[in-house]
Structure 1
């Protein structure tokens, strides 16, 4: 779908809403093209495909029209070089930023960095080198790393040291290119080694590199530890990237228990100018879900 077509399609949706008596909803959703958000929220592919179509470049342009100024794409390394270049060129023309993508095999249950095995470290470092080339094409500054699962036959301190040593090697690859790997503590399974903010803070301090920092995902940390603002504040010097999703459900803000208006106000007052990744699903499907998504971010961005 051409950009002009889906913008016209959006306008038609507004007109239809007016005819149906939903004028307020239409205005809230579609009349913010020049109204950039206070924080730099970054959607993923598919969040606006009902209006923009399946082509990611077209969807990025549509995101820009809605007021977004960054994107995320965890699977960017899996896209063709040609598509990566097109995405990078589009972002550059629009003045948008590329958020995180995931380092290929950057640590998982099959090759956990906690094990201290050279073959696992080699896989990780290969992913780091590949990520540098991808980052150049899309002008990315941050890449996600998850160190993997516990190696439960080893003492916890030895596992931690193994991860630190592997991350030091990764940081050596990223530092010359100004790229920061951001470590993400997760809540998906208790087998994961990295789960808490202070634990990640300790590891980043030990690595001691500007290319090794924390990716703070408020959804995961609400599940793991709560006390979001206080823990972010204590570990702030090592937090380089933020992602969000409400809990329970991992949908857009306002669908769960997290007071994102307060969280975002705190981030703004803290001087955070980085990306806020929209790392979540949507509570509704189709165009209705897209409207709900934008309206939710308008609400919590109004602090």
Structure 2
């Protein structure tokens, strides 16, 4: 290629570049809310981890979530943390512990050692990535009245909070609609989680409100009523429609009303896209993005 041709092409690229960029941004502007996709969720995304982050960013997402990031190792942590920091992407939750189905009200020395190891690994992760919220599953339910079991679980919770709190980590307690290791979870509903957070009374122990799970236990028609009751302890939100656990609009839950309520509350935290995708390929991607554009309006 001669110098004159190179100069012409360079000038053309310079003139077209901003227009092309503007066109791409017009097509996929940043979402107002911090909706957070996760690894291998977006149809047609490339396989490489950082390339998936870039793909999500280019489609308007300004948050990211990876439940299993803790197990991916320091090299991946550094890459993810660096990319998110450079692009202004908020990194949402990773699971710091799944609780091992331990009965927190009767935790043994060995149980606490397992939990402590998870907390310390979570601290290492947070130092590498800068994330502040970690999903915490506080074990299994027993035959005691719930209020009594929660009261007797507080010491074990403090044991965990003591390790992470000085590092600015918030353990967000997730109520579940399903079992853990064939045992019922300690927390089944938002109100159960609220009770635990109030009993622990630590800034590092807050509630994760996953509306899929709350819908699965039959509370879908009471979302606003319930979230208003527990809001003072909520630090993180996740969406997923029910039935099916796919994107908003594919089930019966009114997640649009929840998104509107969150905007009115000036919630600026992450909303994790904790679900699958109904469609496949380009159509599946477009439908997923359209579903979130609709509730982001």
Report the TM range for the smaller structure's normalisation.
Answer: 0.7 to 0.9
SS at match of 1:74: coil
SS at match of 2:171: strand
Q: Is residue 2:275 matched to residue 1:280?
A: yes
1:138 is aligned to 129
1:67 is aligned to 60
SS at match of 2:100: coil
After superposition, the C-alpha distances for 1:36-86 in whole angstroms (9 at most, x for unaligned) are 212110000112252x31111001011111111110000001102111101
After superposition, the C-alpha distances for 1:135-162 in whole angstroms (9 at most, x for unaligned) are 111111100011122234x554443233
SS at match of 1:235: helix
**Pairing 1:1-303 to 2, within 5 Å after superposition:** 31-33=26-28, 35-48=29-42, 50=44, 52-104=45-97, 106-109=98-101, 111-152=102-143, 154=144, 156-189=146-179, 191-224=184-217, 225-226=219-220, 227-302=222-297
Deviation at 1:191, TM superposition (A): 1.3
Distance in 1 between the 2:94 and 2:103 partners?
Answer: 19
**Unmatched tracts of structure 1, length 5 or more:** 1-28
What root-mean-square deviation, in Å, do the aligned CA atoms of Structure 1 and Structure 2 show? 1.8
Distance in 2 between the 1:108 and 1:30 partners?
Answer: 44
Distance 1:157 1:236, change over 3 A: closer
Deviation at 1:286, TM superposition (A): 2.3
After superposition, the C-alpha distances for 1:21-48 in whole angstroms (9 at most, x for unaligned) are xxxxxxxx99533x22121100001122
Distance in 2 between the 1:217 and 1:159 partners?
Answer: 22
**Unmatched tracts of structure 2, length 5 or more:** 1-23
> How many residues are paired up?
269
